[in-house]
Amino acid sequence: MSDLTLREAIARHGLDARKSLGQHFLLDPSVCGRIAALAGDLTDRHVIEIGPGPGGLTRALLASPAAQVVAVELDRRAVALLAELAAAHPGRLTIIEGDALKIDVTTLAPAPRRIIANLPYNVGSPLLVGWLRQAAAIEGMTLMFQQEVAERITAAPDTPAYGRLAVLSQWRCRCDLLMRLPPGAFSPPPKVWSAVVGFTPRAEDPGDALFRAMERMTAAAFGQRRKMLRGALKSLGDAEGLLAAAGIEGSRRAETLTVAEFDRLARELLARSV
Ligand code: SAM
């Protein structure tokens, strides 16, 4: 199997790319190697890959000093192809057939865990938010998204891309946009550019209740981003009291708030709802 080129393996298994599964494959081993390298030193790390597809990035991860790779793939055709790769790497590659949206990644491999993936674009954001909730149990993530999503994750306040995804991501992790790739790097090429974001979880674990409060806060604030916060936060109860307690002017708009200011608001919201 490892002697077959990716194109040969794809042809043998009839793995023609399906749009419904967000399939845009990376077939150039040097590009796959560069993405794996962006994850840093993987010595003794347990790597979780989501959506390995034909396994280009998987092969690069297996070439690293990672302890093992556990890969979750929804497409049965790809799972059959990957079974051959697993047989060629006994004990180092486990393929799980399933929907990553329904799987708790912390059950897949012990710590220290890294998630490394060229994500299916249609479910990239919900997958990310699920992992941010569990970021304390993850050592790091190196994830490819559509460039527009990568820019929303890493956006600064007072920019059009700044919103819920930026606040949740940057609240839980240091986020770095590490690499941009043109459509032609993929087969078939998507319509847009892609980009890799590196996530380094912050030491402090907010816990479930505060994470949920932050989700409610950012949903309300950015749900009506043109409104002043004293109006936008009304759905959460005493908006004026909440803002005053967090030391934030009610006339400000969500996109002007720093992540630290959102943190204060989420803590106030939690304190008032218990
Ligand atoms: N990693 C491969 C590569 O770089 O060539 C494939 C990347 S492709 C963008 C996304 C992969 O995720 C596809 O193989 C697709 O079948 C898989 N996928 C889509 N939805 C999924 C889900 N909910 N759970 C697990 N895998 C999924």
Q: pLDDT digits over 48-102, tens only?
A: 999 999 999 999 999 999 999 999 999 999 999 999 999 999 999 999 999 999 9
pLDDT band at 4 (very low <50, low <70, confident <90, very high): confident
If you measure from the C-alpha of residue 164 to the centroid of ligand 1, how many angstroms do you get, rounded to a whole number? 24
pLDDT at 210 over 60: yes
Cα–Cα dist 177/204, whole Å: 22
Average pLDDT of the segment spanning 101-117: 97
Task: Tell me if 124 sits within 8 A of 118, measured CB to CB.
Answer: no
Cα–Cα dist 268/265, whole Å: 5
Mean pLDDT for all residues in the chain: 96
Q: Tell me the residue type at 179.
A: M
If you measure from the C-alpha of residue 2 to the centroid of ligand 1, how many angstroms do you get, rounded to a whole number? 20
Which fold, 207-273? Helicase, Ruva Protein; domain 3 (1.10.8)
Ligand 1, atom nearest to 32 Cα: 4
Q: Write out pLDDT tens, residues 191-204.
A: 999 999 999 999 99
- Give the per-residue pLDDT at 5: 87
If you measure from the C-alpha of residue 266 to the centroid of ligand 1, how many angstroms do you get, rounded to a whole number? 34
| Ligand 1 surroundings by CB, under 6 angstroms | 21-26, 50-54, 56-57, 72-75, 78, 99-101, 118, 120, 123
If you measure from the C-alpha of residue 242 to the centroid of ligand 1, how many angstroms do you get, rounded to a whole number? 42
- Give the per-residue pLDDT at 3: 57
Q: Where are the domains of the chain?
A: 3-201, 207-273
Q: Which of 18, 27, 50, 121 to mutate to test the pocket of ligand 1 (most atoms within 8 A of CB)?
A: 50
- Which pTM does this prediction carry? 0.96
User: Strand order of the sheet with strand 46-50?
Assistant: 93-97, 68-73, 46-50, 113-118, 140-146, 194-201, 173-181
- Give the per-residue pLDDT at 274: 65
pLDDT at 113 over 80: yes
pLDDT at 2 over 80: no
pLDDT band at 125 (very low <50, low <70, confident <90, very high): very high
Which fold, 3-201? Rossmann fold (3.40.50)
Q: Strands 46-50 and 113-118: what pairing? A: parallel
